[in-house]
Amino acid sequence: MASSSLTKSKTSIIHHLKSTKFPLLYFTNHTSSIRNSHNLLHTISSPPLPVPRCATSSRINPFIVFSRCFESVCVGRRLHSAASASNDVRQFPAEAPSQQVLDFPGGKVKFTPKLAFTSGSTEERVPCYRVLDDSGQPIIDSDSLKISKELAVKMYSDMVTLEVMDTIFYEAQRQGRISFYATTMGEEAINIASAAALHNDDFVFPQYREPGVLLWRGFPLQEFAHQCFGNKYDNGKGRQMPIHYGSRKHNYFTVASTVATQIPHAVGAAYSLKMEKQDSCVITYFGDGGSSTADFHAAVNFAAVLEVPVIFFCRNNGWAISTPINEQLRSDGIVVRGKAYGVPSIRIDGNDALAIYSAVHKARKMAIEEQTPVLIEALTYRTGHHSTSDDSTKYRSIDEIEQWRGGQNPVKRFRKWMESKGWWSDEAESEHHCSTRKQLSQAIQAAEQVEKPTIADMFNDVYDVLPKNLMEQEAFIRKTIKKHTQDYPSDVPL
Amino acid sequence: MASIFQGVGAATALSSSTSFDTKKFHLSSRRSFSVRRASFFVVRSDGAKMDSGLNRIGGRADQLVTNAVATKADTPAASTASKPGHELLLFEALREGLEEEMERDAHVCVVGEDVGHYGGSYKVTKGLADKYGDLRVLDTPIAENSFTGMGIGAAMCGLRPIIEGMNMGFLLLAFNQISNNCGMLHYTSGGQFKIPVVIRGPGGVGRQLGAEHSQRLESYFQSIPGIQMVACSTPYNAKGLMKAAIRSDNPVILFEHVLLYNLKERIPDEEYVLNLEEAEMVRPGEHVTILTYSRMRYHVMQAAKTLVNKGYDPEVIDIRSLKPFDLYTIGNSIKKTHRVLIVEECMRTGGIGASLTAAITENFHDYLDAPIVCLSSQDVPTPYAGTLEEWTVVQPPQIVAAVEQLCR
């Protein structure tokens, strides 16, 4: 991680070491994965991990990373990471009497006579991994996976479908046909590319701005419409607001309105995968705002302790309703929190579909093979309003929105790349747009006609079996409706 | 819990001494939760047979409570079994139930602070980590909202976690997860994801634990739709309720009491599971119905001794099921005695007693000869000083006085 204040503190340690003729202390990451994934943390265009100049001294190895020796607290499964850590840590020879080390639970800690606070901010921010440049051209020598034409075409066309779906449903809300909607505008690449890098049996715990993941997995447009209209064909039986999709079949866990409560759920799901030794992982999505919640912090910490295969995917889109990122946090975004909790992390360009695909693919591999959580911060921009209840021009400039809708637009960038490979064309575009619009209009019209769920569905599923008090309450409401039919909506079946 | 009723549905055979009109509460099928498949042996505390779906109803049930009127006021009737059984303490009974279920189903796991090698703060999980490994008996960091959420997520994926709150009061930190997710996700997902968690832990007023550790969480949780709440009070019902809660597909909150963990009792050797929605007849009587649960059961039984000496015949029911109330058992009792006293540890405002009073008034008003009396703790944070703490909890003399007043 490039960080000059970190370099400074490393430098001071090195100086100190040199002056006291103390052999180098190796620090290794608690999982060997970080060393392997150094490539991921930098694009080739930026220099590798900076080495303090004094480290060219023969006794000092240029590598400085961080260690945790668990000897004092080794229990059961934790031995695994202790073993891997201890393989990397060079044992101390007999300590010089002037050099003392505290053998503290969690690992040995060196003392320093320097009264130096590590700065809360760094001059250089964590770099952002990207594969395509602003004009959709691949960056030379970037680490990225090759994808097939078939996959690329599906990715691109699903991104367009998502865009069109958002536009049409948003319009439907404005026309009063559905009560509420929230778009994914600007985050299409995150939705589709991350889904493309996962397998269908990976569990997905979404916040609410990730319907694209469900779309990728084959959830029909008609069913999206059914949920938004809350009719009897809705999986959720009309019990939730629009965009609160959920499908067990697609391993997509029902959206709850509460922010970030899905993050501990995801850790629990990953725990169940670990217990049952499954070959899949869990992914959970949340925004920059969601990363401020207690649930986020506790869950990430917990996942690190448990060593479970979960990908924490933060969509840093710059805004939490009207709260801009600099009023949300003062750290270098969310990626640095990974380090704080001992979780390998990466910052990626959230408007670059190929970067997202490669990063999630690799993260998934890490999570499963090494049984570790991974934190991904994707930098993107929410070009739409927070929801249909919001008018974002009230708190941000239209210019800013237009700028992100223009050049940085993830769909446009990916399209440029597709066209440069000859895999897409204007005809394909307009044909796809047309057919998707048509499908969606039909879906909406059809969903609008379908009956709403019956009264019975108000009481079912509160428990596994209907208890007596709910039976009575249902009977009461039925009787009341029968008696006062004119006071109740006529289109709700009994 | 107020239940709105109308006279609908088929009436079952009840004593026909009072005929109903449609306004009266009618007691429908004995099975308050219909169509529940039970392949295990479910015991009803009043000895009646369960309806279809059960395989073995037998001698055990018939020998229960109605015969075994407590000669010793605080002996739980159900324990006077014909088989020898084995003696253990309440926390051991909980552990036994937990262990049997973990043995039976590999999906059952335990999650909580210090439950692993430490064995739990009240030793309910002692030895389990050694036996099942520290992944299945999982120690968590101090983040109740997180590990409760984790349990919910794991449950949605097929595990059956038991989430231990070191003290029930700490579960206030998990309220969001319990209310908005645990209680709701089965419903809002359209039945796609179920959440068979058990949330358990000690609560109630202990010995000078201070206000924050003397909470009665049942008051706060009772409104949450989608959850069930039960309170255990004896080793026998602790084990039975623990097993039932684990087997239930609904989220169940099992309330234990800090001061009851060392109660000793002889419980049967053979496997048994109790009914979650059922109250326990502790002492049948004729003059007054005393409804109570958890620790207050013992204060009531102590008061009952005095009352018997004074010539009263109280009927004591340990309601056990806090959500939903077993209005069937309670109703039958009220129809017999016509007087109700509720003794609880909750605070006056918004407690279980308050809800129970409302439910009884609504359903059995015509059977009451006197207003319902509810004895509860005051609306104050529990003080630390021992003397004050004692006065915050309902004591036997108050119960005796209340019964005398009620039966005047």
Q: Is A327 noted as a catalytic residue in this protein? A: no
- Do B298 and B206 reside in the same domain of the chain? no
> Pick from B219, B237, B268: which residue ends a domain?
B268
pLDDT of residue B42: 56
Mean pLDDT throughout B8-27? 38
pLDDT at B232 over 70: yes
In Å, how far is A88's CA from the nearest CA of chain B?
Answer: 26
- Do B258 and B297 reside in the same domain of the chain? no
Distance CA B11, CA B354 (A): 29
SS3 A100: coil
What radius of gyration, in Å, describes the C-alpha atoms of chain A? 26
pLDDT at B12 over 70: no
Hunting for tokens 């100086």 — which residue is that?
A15
Domain harbouring B143, CATH code: 3.40.50.970
ipTM summary value: 0.77
- Do B360 and B255 reside in the same domain of the chain? no
- Do B110 and B238 reside in the same domain of the chain? yes
Cβ of B157 and A269 within 8 Å?
Answer: yes
In Å, how far is A482's CA from the nearest CA of chain B?
Answer: 14
Residue B31 belongs to some domain of the structure = no
pLDDT of residue B36: 57
Residue B218 belongs to some domain of the structure = yes
* Residues 6+ positions from A324 with CB-CB distance below 8 Å: A318, A396
- Do B366 and B226 reside in the same domain of the chain? no
- Do B125 and B256 reside in the same domain of the chain? yes
Q: Which of B150, B190, B250 sits opposite A239 (nearest CB)?
A: B190
pLDDT at B82 over 80: no
Q: Is B287 noted as a catalytic residue in this protein? A: no
Mean pLDDT throughout B142-148? 92
- Do B258 and B290 reside in the same domain of the chain? no
pLDDT of residue A315: 97
Distance CA A174, CA A178 (A): 8
Residue B89 belongs to some domain of the structure = yes
- Do B178 and B296 reside in the same domain of the chain? no
**Contacts with B189 from chain A: Cβ below 8 Å:** 235-236, 246, 248, 253-254
Domain range for B341: 280-407
Domain harbouring B300, CATH code: 3.40.50.920
Q: What are A5-51's pLDDT values in tens digits?
A: 444 444 443 344 344 443 332 222 343 333 333 333 333 333 433 43
Q: Which of A234, A466, A479 sits opposite B6 (nearest CB)?
A: A479
Distance CA A200, CA A187 (A): 21
Residue B219 belongs to some domain of the structure = yes
Q: Angle, to 10 degrees, between the axis of helix B235-247 and the axis of helix B90-104?
A: 30
Torsion B168-B174-B176-B177 (CA) sign:
negative
Cβ of A461 and B136 within 8 Å?
Answer: no
pTM: 0.80
Pairing of strands B280-283, B314-318: antiparallel
Residue B44 belongs to some domain of the structure = no
User: What is the number of alpha carbons within 13 Å of residue B185 lying toward its C-beta?
Assistant: 32
Point out the residues of chain A with pLDDT beneath 50: 1-91
Does any CB of chain B come closer than 8 Å to the CB of residue A239? yes
Q: Which of A124, A171, A419, A448 is catalytic?
A: A171
Mean pLDDT throughout B220-242? 96
Mean pLDDT of chain B: 84
Q: What are A160-193's pLDDT values in tens digits?
A: 999 999 999 999 999 999 999 999 999 999 999 9
Element (H, E) at B357: helix B352-364
Which residue spans within B243-334 are E strands per DSSP? 252-257, 264-267, 273-274, 280-283, 288-292, 314-318, 321-323
Q: Which of B144, B164, B265, B277 is catalytic?
A: B144
- Do B92 and B172 reside in the same domain of the chain? yes
> Pick from B235, B268, B301: which residue ends a domain?
B268
Q: Are B299 and B395 in contact (CB under 8 A)?
A: yes
Q: Which of A76, A237, A473 sits opposite B190 (nearest CB)?
A: A237
pLDDT band at B94 (very low <50, low <70, confident <90, very high): very high
Residue B23 belongs to some domain of the structure = no
- Do B381 and B252 reside in the same domain of the chain? no
Q: Is B271 noted as a catalytic residue in this protein? A: no
Residue B308 belongs to some domain of the structure = yes
Which residue would you say has higher pLDDT here, A250 or B15?
A250
Does any CB of chain B come closer than 8 Å to the CB of residue A461? yes
* Residues 6+ positions from B281 with CB-CB distance below 8 Å: B45, B46, B65, B66, B77, B315, B316, B317, B329
Count of domains for chain B: 2
Backbone phi and psi for residue A312, each to the nearest 5 degrees, phi listed first? -95, 110
> Pick from B218, B235, B268: which residue ends a domain?
B268
Residue B348 belongs to some domain of the structure = yes
- Do B333 and B258 reside in the same domain of the chain? no
User: One-letter amino acid identity for A22?
Assistant: F
- Do B161 and B228 reside in the same domain of the chain? yes
